[in-house]
Structure 1
Amino acid sequence: MTTRARRPQRRNQVLSREQIIDTAVEMLDAGGESALTIRALTERLSTGSGAIYYHVGTRDELLDTATETVIGAALATRPAGTAATPGDEIRVVALALFDAIAAHQWLATRLSLQIIRNPVGPVTVGIFERIGGQVGALGVPRASWFDAASTLVHYILGAVSQNARIEGDTSGIDPSGDRDEFFDAASTAWQGLDPEAYPFMHAIVGQMREHDDREQFLTGIAVILDGLTHLC
């Protein structure tokens, strides 16, 4: 007597687009892009592939939508209180993007792809509008708005991506490596350098070991904002 493979039980309630996106983000967070397939998603949601394609389209479109959802939430972050300055607005949204990419390790690669492939998409336009919308209020001349906004955006994306998981060739990199162990090993190696040939490296070795990534990130924002005031 032969037995048929048991099919996953279909859900009775109506599946929403938001449920699909939220589940996709959970799967990406847990296992990266390789974990998110249409088949795995349908099994997780106890539904058919037709429902996925109907609500969000292909897998690539789902990845784009997941990126837009997470970035959109970060861009919606506002300073507490009613007396926020343009600098406050920039710092708050910059830190929200930093925290979003730290929380969603797959996001850095997808964010870069969106900006390169779709310059008129909601991610690219949203980031530039949210950041760039403050440079005029800082007093930056209109002729320098693009340069000022680009400098901020490039710094933010570069800094946050540096702390994210690297997609592609990761030979020699332990994705689960401990941050403190890494900096301890690096600082020990720097201390072993010739102090006469590398005086700067010896001067900062203690700072490197004990620095806080978020505080260092905000220091960079402060340096850029201070520089932008000199464009006035």
Structure 2
Amino acid sequence: MTMRARRPQRRNQVLSREQILHVAVELLDAGGEGALTVRALSERLTTGSGAIAYHVGKRDDLLDAATETVVTAALTAARPSAAATPSDEIRAVALALFDAITAHRWLATRLTLQIVRNPVGPVTVGVFERIGRQVDALGVPRERWFDAASTLVHYILGAVSQNARIEGDTSGIDPKADRGEFFAATSTAWRELDPEEYPFMHAIVGQATEHDDREQFLTGIAVILDGLTRLR
């Protein structure tokens, strides 16, 4: 009797765009952009590539949609109370993006690419709208709105990217290196510098070792907000 090869089972329930993007984000979180392939996604969802293309599109579309999903969820959750000030709202948005990238290390690269390459996309528009309205509420002159909002967005992207693994980074820094060990080694090297030639570096050795990334990030936001109030 001839045995027929068993075909992989297909899911009976209707596949949704939300299900596809949920699994896509899981794959990205587990292995970065390299782990998100149409084949891997098809196997996880027990479906064909055609169904994925129908709901989302090609791989680049998947990456953009996954980015939009994570960013939109983060911004939606960052809703200060009715009594919040414009500065509170800006800090809430900034921390939402900071925490999202901390939780999803692949997001730093994709978020930056979205804002640079797709200025009319929902991610770019969503981030700028949330921050821009508060720039207006802070009393920044209308002719300075774009510069003010851009300064905040650029700082947020730069700061969070520095604390995340950037896809394609060739710096030689191990993305999985222990943070404490890294700063301990850095501090040791700074202490070996000539204190007369580098007095500032010696003065901040202890601060660099003990600093909190999130608090440091908020300090930068505070400095920018203070500067924006002076534009009035």
Secondary structure in structure 2 of the residue aligned to 1:181: helix
| Count of residues in Structure 1 that have an aligned counterpart in Structure 2 | 232
Map of 1:228 onto structure 2: 228
Q: How do 1:47-66 and structure 2 match up within 5 A?
A: 47-66=47-66
Q: How do 1:174-193 and structure 2 match up within 5 A?
A: 174-193=174-193
Map of 2:200 onto structure 1: 200
Provide, for residues 7-45 of structure 1, a one-character-per-residue CA deviation record: whole Å limited to 9, x for no partner: 332111111110000000000000001111101100000
User: Is contact 2:63-2:110 (8 Å) kept?
Assistant: yes
Q: How do 1:1-232 and structure 2 match up within 5 A?
A: 6-170=6-170, 172-232=172-232
* Structure 2: tracts of 5 or more residues without a match: none
Residue 80 of structure 1: how far off its partner (Å): 4.0
Q: 1:46 to 1:117 in 2, by over 3 A?
A: same
User: Is contact 2:80-2:88 (8 Å) kept?
Assistant: no
* Structure 1: tracts of 5 or more residues without a match: none
In 1, the alpha carbon distance for the partners of 2:15 and 2:194 equals: 63
Moved more, 164-173 or 3-12: 3-12
Identity %: 81
Q: 1:223 to 1:4 in 2, by over 3 A?
A: farther
Provide, for residues 166-219 of structure 1, a one-character-per-residue CA deviation record: whole Å limited to 9, x for no partner: 211435221211011100110111111000110000000100000000000001
What value does the CA root-mean-square deviation take over the aligned residues?
1.5
Q: 1:167 to 1:209 in 2, by over 3 A?
A: same
Provide, for residues 100-133 of structure 1, a one-character-per-residue CA deviation record: whole Å limited to 9, x for no partner: 0111111111111111211111111111111111
Provide, for residues 27-67 of structure 1, a one-character-per-residue CA deviation record: whole Å limited to 9, x for no partner: 00000011111011000001111110110011110110001
Q: 1:2 to 1:40 in 2, by over 3 A?
A: farther
Q: 1:207 to 1:9 in 2, by over 3 A?
A: same
In 2, the alpha carbon distance for the partners of 1:4 and 1:165 equals: 47
In 1, the alpha carbon distance for the partners of 2:3 and 2:59 equals: 32
In 1, the alpha carbon distance for the partners of 2:201 and 2:182 equals: 16
In 2, the alpha carbon distance for the partners of 1:140 and 1:120 equals: 24
In 1, the alpha carbon distance for the partners of 2:213 and 2:35 equals: 28
Secondary structure in structure 2 of the residue aligned to 1:135: helix
Q: 1:228 to 1:169 in 2, by over 3 A?
A: closer
Q: 1:188 to 1:7 in 2, by over 3 A?
A: farther
